[in-house]
């Protein structure tokens, strides 16, 4: 399978790469998709490694919350699919410490992306991350040149609007296309992030970024109008089934159809933005609205993000 494991080493502030020779293959010259997990993983621990969880290319069949991202993104071991990079980093411990470390990982990732771009000037590079993994991707942008990253797919990003604003104002940020997926299902986690990082001056990205630049597209996947628009594009995403869920941006049936289309260039986030609602629903609107036929998520049901 065209997949390479790349794990962040805090001692060296760099990465241990499983098989560096794969960076020089024709698959890497075609397309590179870098997948980054979020909070509460550690590739150095067998019981917490993402490489036996969502970044495991052989995990299918598996429960939705443990599904294989590489397979869901279309990596099945065939020549010509492109190269999948499964990025692991230590994200256990207190949230504030993991948040700071995500910034360090993003800076180190920028060096690897620059190296890939130097090897393959025409390859398409997409960074896809969930929760703090999305912060890793955004944190790489200030350290890159214009055009180094083609796309960022940010799933339930655990970061603030001011961080994204700074990242998008950089040369790499101005040229990258960003798909920012959020849902009112994640409101509790967005609010908890803001409380854990009291020094921030702006709200969580999950509240929606109304003043985002034209190359940033917010997609609220619990918005009926948004789902209707995507359905007309043959992207059929199931409606939400829970009031509270931090993982619906990758467990909801149909969402990976959208992410594959974006990563392969079939859907341009900047163009998609024109067809979607301009404003996100207010925070807590799912909890305040009548909860008909919706099952609350047990907080003990999902140990990692």
pTM: 0.92
Q: Tens digit of pLDDT for each residue in 77-86?
A: 888 999 999 9
How far is residue 236's CA from residue 10's CA, in Å, rounded to a whole number? 41
The predicted pLDDT at position 77 comes to 81
Is the per-residue pLDDT at 265 higher than 80? Answer: yes
Read off the pLDDT band of 59 (50, 70, 90).
confident
pLDDT, average across residues 114-141: 98
How far is residue 88's CA from residue 15's CA, in Å, rounded to a whole number? 9
Is the per-residue pLDDT at 300 higher than 50? Answer: no
Q: pLDDT: is 299 or 118 the higher one?
A: 118
SS3 of residue 89 by DSSP: coil
pLDDT, average across residues 15-38: 96
How far is residue 182's CA from residue 184's CA, in Å, rounded to a whole number? 7
Read off the pLDDT band of 299 (50, 70, 90).
very low
Q: Please provide the average confidence, as pLDDT, over all residues in the chain.
A: 92
Q: Tens digit of pLDDT for each residue in 216-264?
A: 999 999 999 999 999 999 999 999 988 899 999 999 999 999 999 999 9
Read off the pLDDT band of 303 (50, 70, 90).
very low
pLDDT, average across residues 106-113: 99
Domains annotated for the chain, with CATH where assigned, are 3-288 (3.40.50.1820)
Is the per-residue pLDDT at 63 higher than 80? Answer: no
Q: Tens digit of pLDDT for each residue in 130-140?
A: 999 999 999 99
Is the per-residue pLDDT at 304 higher than 60? Answer: no
How far is residue 125's CA from residue 151's CA, in Å, rounded to a whole number? 7
How far is residue 50's CA from residue 46's CA, in Å, rounded to a whole number? 9
């Amino acid at each position: 399978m065209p997949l390479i494991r790349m794990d962040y080493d805090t001692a060296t502030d760099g990465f241990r790469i499983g098989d560096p020779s794969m960076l020089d293959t024709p698959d890497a010259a075609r397309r590179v998709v870098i997948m980054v997990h979020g909070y509460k993983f550690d590739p150095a621990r067998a019981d917490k490694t993402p490489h036996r969880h969502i970044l495991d290319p052989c995990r299918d069949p598996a429960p939705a919350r443990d599904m294989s991202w590489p397979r869901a993104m279309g990596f099945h071991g065939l020549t010509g699919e492109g190269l999948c990079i499964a990025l692991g980093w230590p994200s256990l411990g207190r949230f504030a410490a993991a948040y700071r470390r995500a910034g360090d990982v993003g800076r180190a990732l920028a060096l690897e992306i620059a190296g890939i771009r130097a090897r393959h000037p025409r390859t398409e590079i997409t960074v896809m991350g969930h929760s703090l993994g999305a912060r890793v991707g955004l944190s790489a942008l200030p350290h890159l040149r214009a055009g180094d990253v083609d796309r960022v797919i940010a799933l339930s990003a655990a970061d603030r609007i001011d961080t994204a604003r700074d990242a998008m104002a950089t040369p790499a940020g101005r040229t990258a296309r960003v798909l920012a997926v959020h849902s009112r299902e994640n409101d509790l986690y967005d609010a908890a992030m803001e409380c854990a990082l009291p020094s921030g001056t702006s709200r969580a990205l999950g509240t929606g970024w109304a003043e985002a630049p034209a190359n940033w597209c917010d997609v609220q996947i619990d918005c009926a109008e948004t789902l209707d628009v995507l359905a007309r594009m043959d992207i059929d995403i199931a409606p939400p089934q829970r009031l509270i869920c931090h993982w619906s941006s990758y467990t909801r049936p149909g969402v990976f159809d959208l992410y594959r289309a974006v990563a392969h260039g079939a859907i341009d986030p900047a163009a998609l933005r024109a067809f979607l609602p301009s404003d996100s629903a207010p925070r807590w609107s799912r909890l305040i609205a009548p909860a008909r036929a919706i099952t609350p998520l047990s907080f003990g049901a999902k140990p990692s993000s």
